[in-house]
Amino acid sequence: MSLQEDVERLRSIPLFAKIEPSKLKLLAFTAQRVTFNSGENLFRQGDVGDAAYIITSGTADVVVATPNGPLTVAQVGTNDFVGEIAILCDVPRTATVTATSTLMTMRISKELFFELVSQFPEISVEIMRVLAHRLDVTTRQLQDALSKLKAG
């Protein structure tokens, strides 16, 4: 994929849509391209969060460990952004992300991510929207699970 194609891909992601093209070009140039084969983990629950990933093609499962075994809580794909919670909150990874097909990503280091956020505060607003949406979905899933348990 060319640098220009990477810039266009970044522009199509709401998180980066308002950033000027020259800055996106710098991001695309400095991000590391990493490819994962089906079955490979981008990271594991409990790992130290050192980077976030933009999925440029392919799909992956987001899996959390439970007392009853692994539980797939989401599926992600092209233009999704994963791994930001651990670098934002400085906590261990909250889930394992496993490729379910050949997965091509742009890896954004923690340092680069915070540089972007400090230079472009509008990214912070988009990150809050993404995280709020995920929290909403998770809350609904928990409510559904509790209702099923109570119904028994």
pLDDT in tens, 75-114: 999 988 899 887 788 889 999 999 999 999 999 998 988 8
Q: Domain residues of the chain, as ranges?
A: 3-151
Fold that domain 3-151 belongs to in CATH: Jelly Rolls (2.60.120)
Q: Where are the alpha helices (DSSP H) in 67-106?
A: 84-89
The pLDDT mean for the chain works out to 88
Torsion of CA 137, 141, 146, 152, to 10 degrees: 160
Using the predicted structure, report yes or no on whether residue 152 has a pLDDT greater than 80. Answer: no
Give all strands (DSSP E) within 78-149, no chain letters. 81-82, 96-99, 103-109
Distances (CA, A) of 40 to 33, 35, 74, 104: 15, 10, 16, 12
Rounded to whole angstroms, the Cα distance separating 133 from 122 reads 17
Average pLDDT of the segment spanning 107-126:
83
pLDDT top residue among 66 and 142: 66
Share of the chain above pLDDT 70, in %: 99
The predicted pLDDT at position 1 comes to 65
CB 13 within 8 A of CB 81: yes
Average pLDDT of the segment spanning 59-77:
94
